[in-house]
Amino acid sequence: MLRIGVIGITGRMGQAVLDVAAGTHDIAAVAGFVRPGRDTTALRRSLPPSLLLTDALPDLMRLVDVVIDFSHPDLTLAAARAAAASGVPLVTGTTGLAEAHRAALCEAAQHVPIVHAANFSVGIAVLLRLLPELARTLAEWDIEVIERHHRAKRDAPSGTAIRLVQAMSRARAETPLTYVYGRGPGEALRQPGEVGLHAVRAGGEVGRHTVLLASDDEGLEITHWAQSRRAYARGALEAARRIRNRPPGLYSFSELLFS
């Protein structure tokens, strides 16, 4: 039985991870991290009775085989350092990371295996495999990426949208893509090599990403949408299964699925 701990246990993704894990036969969520000083009385009523809550990351690490983190960048940084010190693999889906946070993940990954993905859905992992070939084959076509999320999402554009563009940009290394975030107001004539990134925030949309490629005569549009956060939770749990016995390093979810 794979024992997991969850950081971000009070958030929507943390709750989804617990929900999906409860329906598996090979994974047990045994511990969760809460902020120091938090009153957990009400929280306790919504959690499995056997789940241990702790406000100390080293204590969490001692209880589990893998940690899953959906929190915020500063807590992810602390989790990466605690995981490295404890020798516990880390799966993190936290987005909005700054350069210092990414550097901390790379440093920790020298000591333990870490999976970082902006999106843990299997569909996006497959799309990341397809897009480089499309970008190479349709080298003269324009590219636009449109992403839609719920009104409370903090970062824009989404980490997934950026990752999709990066996958295509590497395939067009000879003519690097220039990011344009939205267009206008006023004159905004498209320039060669641009890729437009457009963020929509409205309602309760879980997540929808559309990649548009177009020439003067035809176009291709690919859309992935998540119908439930359970799609991300299932992917994070699959990453936890696959990362447990890997050597230290920073892994992508797509890499784990297809290597």
Q: What is the pLDDT of residues 78-118, one digit of tens each?
A: 999 999 999 999 999 998 889 999 999 999 999 999 999 98
User: How is domain 2-120+229-258 classified at the architecture level of CATH?
Assistant: 3-Layer(aba) Sandwich (3.40)
Does the domain made of 122-226 have the CATH classification 3.30.360.10?
yes
Query: What pLDDT is recorded for position 174?
Result: 76
Measured CA to CA, the distance from residue 235 to residue 230 in angstroms comes to: 8
Neighbours of 141 (CB within 10 A): 16
Distance (Å, rounded) from C-alpha 251 to C-alpha 105?
11
List 149, 198, 209, 224, catalytic entry? 149
C-alpha 157/C-alpha 179 separation (Å) is: 11
pLDDT of amino acid 251: 96
Give CA–CA dist 256/259, Å, rounded.
6
Say whether 149 is catalytic: yes
Confidence (pLDDT) at 47: 84
Q: Between helices 122-137 and 159-171, what is the axis angle to 10°?
A: 30
Catalytic position from the list 25, 101, 150, 153: 153
Q: Which parts of the chain have pLDDT scores under 50?
A: none
Domain positions in the chain are 2-120+229-258, 122-226
Calpha distance 226→244 (Å, rounded): 26
